[in-house]
Amino acid sequence: MRARIPRVFALVVKELLALLRDPASRAVLIGPPIIQLLVFGYAATFELKHVPFVVYNQDQGQFSREFVARFAGAPSFDLVQFVYDQKAVEQAINNKSALMAMDIGPNFSSDLERGQPARVQFVLDGRDSNTAAIAMGYVQSIVTRFNQAQIVQHGMKPPPTVLLDRAWFNPNLDSRWFIVPGICGILTLLVSMLTTGLSVAREREMGTFDQLLVTPMPPAEILLGKALPGFLVGTAEGTLIVVMAVFWFHVPFTGSLIGLYIGLLCFLFAAVGIGLMISSIAVTQQQGLLGVFLFMVPAIVLSGFATPIANMPQAVQYITLLDPLRYFLIVLRASFLEGGGISLFWPQYWPLLTIGLICMIVAANLFRRRLA
């Protein structure tokens, strides 16, 4: 035991040197995660701020001008131009110069005056159906507000029922609050893959892994020496990213910090385990790189980062149970927004530990196989 600690320590130092000595690899490890948090944190938002739209107004009355003004004045919509025939509407949408076209019929104002429902047609570009769906919601809410004003102005009978909605945890439905904690998880995964995914494959290819195997260290110690740098770098960068999410992006942190850190360590255990497993299966770095992508891409897409797991078919939902990022995202989002603590997180901790343990055992066995 007494000999072991310095041995593992020496290996950890060697691994850290291999990672950080080369200025290029040092730069890749530290710079991009921080830059990416900044860029993605601003880029990844589901709010629409500039929906370009064209207006084809066949009505001469004052009401249609008021109606158009409601949209032109709304912060989410940008009036591009007025068009004067159906063909121009088609062209604007086809060429993507507008996401939406508003087609007001010739009887709009007179219908409104007579108390008849005045109909307005909205055409949306469905090539990006998520943006179209969000814009559709915006249209509905502006029309509803216009209607309420009209009802009050003209002393009309109010509708029998109204829909009043509010949202918990995120009252303004600011998607950044949801996305930024998700990016924290993704970048932590990225860093742990960078530190461990190629570490064994590289030594294999260079021939230095054989040297490591002839030392008196048992595979478990080699594994520990290879895993610890991933933990250290992952914890350090994970902390930095969480700090930036709170102080730069002002995402409220309402939960328990200890709960989040236990989650981070469990997640790193799983991610480092998977990285070492990939790295010890791979014979060349090319294979290691392929392995990293084959794991990382599905892990991010199926984690519930952008598309909810509940929308996936049952069979795919079972696959997500193998995805460590899925559990960590729940911990992150609950810690940030829902005020969750350790007691609520047990169902997330233990799958992470299980995944990590299995992968570490597989990785150690793959070392041993080489020994034999």
Q: Of 188-217, which residues contact other proteins (CB under 8 A)?
A: 190, 193-194, 197-198, 202, 205-206
Sheet holding 77-82: strands in order across?
77-82, 51-57, 100-104
Query: Which of 7, 25, 107, 281 lies at the binding interface for other proteins (CB under 8 A)?
Result: 25
From the list 117, 155, 207, 216, which residue makes contact with other proteins (rule: CB under 8 A)? 117
Q: In sequence order, which residues have a C-beta less than 8 Å from that of residue 49 and are 6 or more positions away?
A: 75, 76
> Does residue 37 interact with other proteins by CB under 8 A?
no
79 three-state secondary structure: strand
Contact track, other proteins, 142-161, x by CB under 8 A: -x--xx--xx--x-xxxxxx
By beta-carbon proximity to other proteins, the closer residue of 235 and 338 is: 338
CA distances to 58, 234, 269, 288, 355 from 266, in Å:
63, 11, 5, 23, 10
Decide if 275 contacts 192 (C-beta within 8 A).
yes
321 binds other proteins (CB under 8 A): no
| Nearer to other proteins among residue 221 and residue 333 (C-beta) | 333
Binding to other proteins in span 38-57, by CB under 8 A: 39-40, 42-52
Binder to other proteins among 168, 216, 343, 346 (CB under 8 A)? 168
Q: How far is the CB of 149 from other proteins (least distance, A)?
A: 9
Q: Tokens standing for 339?
A: 């005020």
Residue 132 C-beta: closest distance to other proteins, Å: 6
How many residues belong to the site for other proteins (CB under 8 A)?
Answer: 116
Map residue 237 onto helix, strand or coil. Answer: helix
369 binds other proteins (CB under 8 A): no
Per rule CB under 8 A, is residue 119 in the interface with other proteins? yes
- Two structure tokens written together for 132: 């179209």
Distance in angstroms (rounded) separating the CA atoms of residues 119 and 62: 15
- Judged by CB, which is closer to other proteins: 50, or 87? 50
Q: Which of 6, 75, 87, 95 is the binder for other proteins (CB under 8 A)?
A: 95
67 interacts with other proteins by CB under 8 A: yes
β-bridge mates for residue 52, sequence order: 78
Cα distances (Å, whole numbers) of residue 51 to 65, 94, 97, 129, 192: 19, 15, 10, 14, 38
